[in-house]
Amino acid sequence: MAAVRRPHDDAPETTEAFHRLAAAPDGPERDLLLQELVEAWLPMAHRLAMKFRNRGENTDDLKQVAAMGLVKAVDRYEPGRGAFESYAVPTITGELRRHFRDHTWDVRVPRRVQDLRNKVRVARREVMDRPGHAGEAALEEIAAQAGLTPDEARDGMEALESYRCLSLDAEAAGAAGDGEGLSLADTLGHTESGFDVITDREAAKEGLRALPERERTILYLRYFEDMTQAGIAEKVGISQMHVSRLINRSCAQVRAHAGGQAAA
């Protein structure tokens, strides 16, 4: 009897086991059959995972994702609806693609842009592999190869740079070669507290103008000349308690005026 040829060496003969799995009720026996079938087809799942190995993801993680897709395929497969491999390959491949789409992007981009990235990546490789082609593929060449508009190809090229982010500790482009150089974090701006001071002063101006001259003088002496309430009382000719009341009342009026402007 001639040996039955199979598409791959990792496609075992498991037809009878799948029929027994389909007929088995939930319980230990079915779980054991499921485990045996997964182990039998695991080499095929690993082979499919290796097709994605050059995309920047850890190989062991890819094999784990493929194994999860295999478990789903074995559990859902119906023996009467074609060969298991024809059902399992799209299921496992789809699981791997979903993994890349949902878990491996450092910068979250829309699904449409992710699809453009994949088309551009393939088209760029095909253009650069052409006999006689030298150098980097031009945007127009990539767009024509992928059947995209130049704008779509440009979006896909930009998405290629969004797949992985640099750490803020990475050396900035163009940094000096001697010494440690500048990191990306060194190029980031810092919050300037002076802007808050300017904002507060502008908000208080109108409220200060609305105060009587004596109250404006008292606030100036207190907050700009840094005089004590006792010193202000002596200079203005009123009691310290009165100075305290006028400061509190004036500050409340200025705050209320500024708050009203902000609400408006």
pLDDT tens sequence across 54-109: 666 778 888 999 999 999 999 998 888 888 988 899 999 988 888 776 665 555 66
User: Whole-model pTM?
Assistant: 0.42
Residues 229-246: tens digit of each pLDDT? 999 999 989 999 999 999
* CATH, residue 92: 1.10.1740.10
* CATH, residue 211: 1.10.10.10
For residues 38 and 75, membership in a common domain is answered with yes
Contact 45, 70 (CB under 8 A): yes
In a domain, 2, yes or no: no
Question: Which residue range(s) make up the domain with 255?
Answer: 193-263
Return the pLDDT at 2. 42
For residues 197 and 234, membership in a common domain is answered with yes
pLDDT over 90 percentage in the chain: 22
The owner of tokens 């030298």 is 134
For the chain, the average pLDDT equals: 80
Rounded Cα gap, residues 15 and 6, in angstroms: 13
For residues 68 and 141, membership in a common domain is answered with no
For residues 218 and 152, membership in a common domain is answered with no
Return the pLDDT at 112. 80
Last residue within a domain, chosen from 79, 103, 127: 103
Residues 17-31: tens digit of each pLDDT? 888 888 888 888 899
**Who's near 201: CB < 8 A, 6+ residues apart?**
none
Contact 15, 79 (CB under 8 A): yes
For residues 95 and 150, membership in a common domain is answered with no
Question: Quick one: three-class SS letters along 233-258?
Answer: HHHHCCCHHHHHHHHHHHHHHHHHHH
Residues 152-181: tens digit of each pLDDT? 888 888 776 665 555 566 666 555 554 456
